Every structure is written in C-alpha cells, then in structure tokens.
Amino acid sequence: MKRRTVNRLLAAAVAGLSALWIWFWWYSGLQTLPAGVRLGDWQVGGMRAEEAKLALEDGLKRLSNQKVSLGAADAAANRTEFTMERLGLSSNGEQLSTFLDSFAKEGSRLDRARRRWQLRHAALPLELTVSEEKLRQTLEAAWPGLMKPVTKNAERVVTADDRIEYKPEVRARTADTAVLAGLLVESARDVWDGRLRPDRWTGDASPAKLDVPLRDVLPEMTLDRLKAQGVDRKIAEFTTTSHGSAPGRVHNIQATASTIHDMLLAPGAKFDYGTVIRETERKHGYREAPVIYNGKLVQGIGGGICQVSTTLYNAVLRAGLTVNERRNHSLPVSYVALGQDATFANGYINFVFTNNSGHHLLIRTETNESSVTVKLFGRMPESVTYEVESNVIKTIEPPVKYVHNPSLPKGAQSLLQPGKPGYVVETYRIRKENGAVVGRERVSTDTYQPQPSLVAANNGTPPEDKDGPPGGGRTIIEDGVSGPVLPKGR
C-alpha cells in the first residue's frame, strides 16, 4: 500500500516537472513582447520584438523627416521650413532597437525567461532631445541677421566744454535657442503621439508650425553699467606751460600724454607712471631733449616726460586722491611752483597714486607745442574743493666750485658761471567745503639742490676733482629715459 502511494507521488512529481519544463521551454522561446509592455505610450505587448523594432525605426525616420515651419516677428527671419533632424532632433531609438533586437535572441534560455518575466508591464522610455548647438548652426545658416545681431556699447562723451553726456547702447534681438529646443521637443512628442506613432500612423505630412521665441541681446557695456561707474563731471584740472620747447621735447610730452588720455581707473586701482613710460616708448619712441643727469642738465632721450607727470600730480592733489609715490626734481623746474613737481627716474623714482574716490576716474589730456593740460573726471561733492600751497622754509646757498686755469696770474680768480641757491619747501593740501577750510594736510617736504658757482682760479696746482654721481656712485637720469647724448662727431 505504501509502495503504491510512493509511486503515485513520484509519477505526479515527474509529470509536474515535465509540465514545468515544457512551460519553461515554451516561455523562454517566445518571440513576442510580454503583455503590458509600453514603448512610451505605445502599447507593444504581444507584438513580436522584430516587428516592434521595425515599426519603431520606421516611425522615428518619419519623425526625423517631419517638417517644421519656423518664423519670427523679426524681419530677418521669414517663415522657413526645416526638418526635425536638421533642427537637431535625436532620440534613443538606436538603443531601443538594439534592446528589441536582442530581447528574444541573446543569452541562455534561463536568461531569456528571466528577462521576459522582469519586462512584464514595463514602460520603455522613448527619449526625444534637440541639440542646441546643431539648432543654432542651422538657424545661423538660414538667418544670419537674426542669429548674429549687431549691438553697440553705450558711450560716454566728454563735450568741448567738459560736460559728461551719455549715448545709450544699441540692443538687438536673437532666437532663444534654449527655449526653442524645448518647444521643438514638445512639438516632436505631439506629432509622434498624434499621427506618426506606428499604431496611429495617418500619413499626414503637414508641417508643424512654431514661432521662434526671441530674447534681447545686450552689448558688453550698457547705459546703466556705464553710468554706475560714477563719472559724472570734471573734478580737477591743471595746466603747465613751457614756451620755446624744442621739437623733441614737444614730441615726448605729447606722446606720453596720449598714452594716459582716456585712461579709466577703477575704484581702488593704482596708476603707475613707469608703466606709462614703457608703453609710450614701445608705441611712439622718445626723442632727444634735455634731461637731468646726476643733478645736471644735459642732452638726453625722453626729456619732458616729467612735465606730464607733474601736471597729472597737481590734478591728483586737487582731486583729493591718495599719492603713494612721488619725488621732486633734484633741480627746480620752470613750469610749476617749487614743491609741486613730480619727477621720474627709471628704476629709481616713480609716480604712483591710488583712485580712492570710490568711483571710476577718467583721465583726459590736451597738449599743444607749449602746454599740457590734465583733466580728471569722476564723482566728488560739488561743495568740496582742494587747494595746494607751497612755502620755502629754507634757502641753501650755492657752493663754489673752482676750475683750475693756469693762464690766469697766480692767485687770480674769474667767475665763469654764477650759482643758483637750493631750497627746502613744504607743500600742503587744503580741503574746503562750501569755501570754508576744513582740513590742512602736509603732502611733502622737498629739497632742491643748489647749483655751484663756477670760478676759474690759478692757485698753482689743479684742485682734486671730487665730483661724482649722487647716491654713492649710482647714475640717475631724471625727466628722461636715457642720457647723456654726446654731440655728433665725438
């Protein structure tokens, strides 16, 4: 009895396993997609994978060739038809095709059965995208005027009477390709779901119609940005004159002034005169003119450059700006009061100031053969003014330098050149508000070396020559870039 029961159970188990094996072999060999599978919103469950693949590829090909009519309100973009593919449409169709192609073919029976079971009621996403780069290239070829519009920066104009006027920027409009790409994806999705999807194919080839969204194109400098720099009016001006300057000196002054003309300093920026000199030398070159060489006036290259730095220095003082580095000439100059000059010696003396006004500072220059003017434009309360006052606090008598002349009678002397005194000078900047003095600042204490009297004498033996460059033998060239220049033929 027991043996019979066992045999029945074994037979039932074998039958069950056989049925399961038959079902598994049938199930793993099915070529159709599982029930409920969707490709986007397209129900493909029950279709053969190969059939779904071919239908998908055909539908996406029709979608790529679907025409779109684009137009914009701008006259440079008359309505034109493009294919979706030309406008940059792409999809993950190739990836889906590969999946469908391998669905019932690749892997073992167990792999295929497992894959089929996991795919039940799954939604395979159909992804549509538009390449903004390709879209832009297509539109640029068709509508260059719209895609590459011409704009113009806002302008600041300084009138002949030193008023500041502004001209607004010129804006333009162009296609907003980022927004348009999104609209094209939506349109492609609508066309696909409406009439190009394989289960809804209508054969309707009428083009989709879209208006190109536009956006404003601004130039780099708008009127608001330009006005925000704070260049409202002329805040300081200074002029120096030097009549009878040689052509070389006039060139040096005008070339240097042209380098700083229309220079714009941002708030907190430093002006470096050494940089200006190097730039001027590179662009224009300097010519022969008198320079100060180790405290003596000699012929050199670049003479006159310190008249520009001096003029700028005086304008800077009167604008209330911070002077970081400045030195007076070793000898007095004729074009400005003592204590109010600013010399330059390459690698030794520089002129540096900081725009501490809190706003941009515009530097403008005007030159002619006998004068140079510097005007500073920015923002400063009209109630505030600055004056500059210099006082000689000490006069230094000129020393006597003897030159041996054996032709004179022994013990005799003869004045060859009278000396010039030196000076110690204090300079103050005076701040006024509504005409009343509210501050007095000492800006410098300067020493100008005396020039010795030259006396010819015969004392029997020549005096020892103790002349030499100041500063322990260091050669200093002021008011120029090189020197001395020897006369031709020497």
Query: For 85-163, where are the E strands, in sequence order?
Result: 89-91, 123-124, 128-130, 155-158
Residues facing residue 214 across a β-bridge: 175
Q: Over pLDDT 70: what percentage of the chain?
A: 88
Given a cut of 70, the residues of the chain with pLDDT beneath it are 1, 12-13, 15, 17-21, 23-31, 74-76, 104-112, 115, 118, 460-475, 483, 485-490
Q: Where are the domains of the chain?
A: 28-217, 229-478
Residues facing 137 on adjacent strands: none
Distance CA 353, CA 93 (A): 66
Tokens of 204: 């309707």
**What pLDDT was estimated at residue 385?**
97
User: DSSP labels for 158-198?
Assistant: E-TTS-EEEEPPBPEEEE-HHHHHHHHHHHHHHHIIIIISG
Report how far apart, in Å, the C-alpha atoms of 234 and of each of 195, 267, 313, 321, 436 are: 70, 17, 16, 14, 21
Cis preceding linkage at 484, omega within 30? yes
Q: Is 220 helix (H, G, I), strand (E, B) or coil?
A: coil
pLDDT at residue 471, as a whole number: 45
The secondary structure of 335-371 as a DSSP string is TS-TT-----BTTTB--EEE--SSS-EEEEEEE-SSE
DSSP 262: T
Decide: pTM greater than 0.85: no
Length of the chain: 490
The string of DSSP letters for 5-74 reads: HHHHHHHHHHHHHHHHHHHHHHHHT--BPPTT-EETTEE-TTSBHHHHHHHHHHHHHHHHH-EEEEE-SS
Handedness of CA 135, 136, 141, 146 (dihedral sign): positive
User: Which residues, including other chains, have CB under 8 Å from residue 257's CB and lie 6 or more apart?
Assistant: 308, 365, 366, 367, 372, 374
